[in-house]
Amino acid sequence: MGYQPVHESVANSVPLDEPAVAGTSRLDGCLLVETALALVFAVLTIRVIAQGAAYEVGWLLNPIVLVAAAFVPTTLRRRRFADFGLTGPQILRSLAVLGWTCLALFPLVLVSLWVLNSYDLGLPLQPSLPQEKGLIGWLFYQFMYVAMAEEVFFRGYVQSNIMRLAAPATGDLSGRREWVSIVLSAGCFAIGHLVVQGQVASLLTFLPGLVLGWLFIRTKSLLAPILFHGLANICYAAMASLFV
């Protein structure tokens, strides 16, 4: 793809553009356990919230759980968190990559939904539509609560840690580490949706997870994945409403 390795802000104490050194296996083992525990904690907690009495406030509790699961272990281990990409050059770069990605993928999604509807196959995933909070509240929720929280956790925390863990195994100067992180983080993203929603169709979120992971690598920040995530949810809901 011609992109550069992830920025130092998503690196471990050893920069990811340097070869792994001996003696890091213990640290990697601790990081693996930490990441797995954080993932299990976040997914199961949100599952309990969705099924319990706290469901009505789940819109607020879920992002708190995800953000806490990402920042608490990172802070305790004194690692730098992934860059949000809010400087001028980063914003321009993220918007450019985001624009081309949306132009390439959103028409493809619309055509796919039209084909499925033509053969009476139904929607692959049920869209989240505006309800009692109104359109503005729904748009705010999609970007600030769903997209931002999920990207902070699955890209900023999980994918960054996978990058660190994959470095000794794949070699720091190859592109394999980046693709390993993209695929595995997308898998975690899809399994998380499966556990919380309890529907096999939720595994289809693996596909947008690949795009989100690639955007994180390509732009070296969280801004593009957050914006694409929110836009994808909104555009999918709008497209799906045409066939409901």
pLDDT at 11: 41
Is the model's pTM score more than 0.85? Answer: yes
Asked whether residue 2 is domain-assigned, the answer is: no
Asked whether residue 4 is domain-assigned, the answer is: no
pLDDT at 20: 37
pLDDT at 187: 98
The domain in which residue 84 lies consists of: 21-241
Asked whether residue 192 is domain-assigned, the answer is: yes
**Among 215, 207, 244, 230, residue whose Cα is nearest residue 94:** 215
Residues in the chain where the model's pLDDT stays below 50:
1-24
Asked whether residue 5 is domain-assigned, the answer is: no
Asked whether residue 14 is domain-assigned, the answer is: no
pLDDT at 50: 84
Tally of domains in the chain = 1
pLDDT at 125: 86
